[in-house]
Structure 1
Amino acid sequence: MRTTFDRLRHTICFELIGLLILTLGVGKLIHMDMTKITVLAVAFSVIATIWNYFYNIGFDKAMLKYTGQLNKSLKIRVFHASLFEFGLVLITLPIMAWYLKISLKEAFLLDIGMVVFYLVYAFIYNIIYDRIFPIPATQTEGNIQSEARE
């Protein structure tokens, strides 16, 4: 599994890059007050950072338990990113509606736009991150490799 330092680096870089893209790009696209978008984006970034940290620990533990390894196939990556975003929508939807003083339906549509962005972004980011910082061999993989040599 990844170290705490690695998880923190992953999460902080993910949120900083996503926040930059979101506030500069999406704020202009939806023609909303940039101050409100920035405040909301920063708040959601903090929420997503905390969610990301705990979600990935839980996901990795579940992967190890059910598959015995941490290498993610394309199918698992799509599932991983989708489940992450679904959980985040449940957390952020009421906050968005309240802060922007819009209906839950309007907030849902806006949130779906953010979900689509982050779904694609998370998929691409995680592939690049895993290539730059490969996952260390798990204890199970190490034991299998040692036994194969004997």
Structure 2
Amino acid sequence: MPASPPATPAPAPTAATGLQGPRRRVIFVALYELIAIAASSLLFIAIGQEAAASGVMSVVASTLAIVWNVTFNHLFERWEARQPVKGRSVLRRVVHAMGFEGGLALMLIPLMAWWFGVGLWEATLMEAGLLVFFLIYTYAFNWGFDRAFGLPASAQAAAAPAATNAC
């Protein structure tokens, strides 16, 4: 009986592809917030707030959003890495966007009420309008960012081990 061919060693797991780690987070946050500052300033002006107050509020909100973004995405990616199903489905992207925007709204509503000198109800309505915009923007930005720079390692499928021949 002929000897079976020697088993080939399993390939080493490949490194995650695309932009990864802290560099990914910094680029993500910088791009996201630059666009967000411009858009939110215009939205505040469109609903009747003064341009200067709108610009300052947008920068302050952006600073809060940066801190929240880093914190939320770190926690989300830790959770995501433990999930048996890899990748970013529509549902996972929707949950991500809603979790991020919901947490940010809880911080921004009281801040906007104080800054613009309005009641909590009016600030909530202002935030609701911004929320609709930012839910769509967050989803679209994340999708576009992942398309341009690749998925984060937490969402990439692990390299499959090679099958070995048993004797």
Calculate the TM-score normalised by the size of structure 2.
Answer: 0.80
Shift of 1:136: 5.0
Q: Distance in 1 between matches of 2:95 and 2:82?
A: 17
1:112 alignment counterpart: 128
- Structure 1 unaligned blocks of 5 or more: none
Aligned residues: 146
Q: Is the 8 A contact 2:41 2:58 kept in 1?
A: yes
Q: Which residue among 18, 23, 26 is the counterpart of 1:5?
A: 23
Q: Which residue among 85, 88, 99 is the counterpart of 1:83?
A: 99
User: Against the structure 1 CA distance between its residues 6 and 149, is the aligned structure 2 distance closer, same or farther, given a 3 Å change threshold?
Assistant: farther
Show CA shifts across 1:81-122 (max 9, x none): 011111001111111111111100000000111111111100
Show CA shifts across 1:31-64 (max 9, x none): 2101111111110001001101110110011111
Q: Is the 8 A contact 1:68 1:140 kept in 2?
A: no
Calculate the TM-score normalised by the size of structure 1.
Answer: 0.88
Q: Which residue among 26, 29, 46 is the counterpart of 1:29?
A: 46
Q: Relative contact order (C-alpha < 8 Å, sep 6+): which is higher? A: 2
User: Against the structure 1 CA distance between its residues 140 and 96, is the aligned structure 2 distance closer, same or farther, given a 3 Å change threshold?
Assistant: closer
Higher helix share: 1
- Structure 2 unaligned blocks of 5 or more: 1-15
Shift of 1:141: 3.5
% same residue: 30
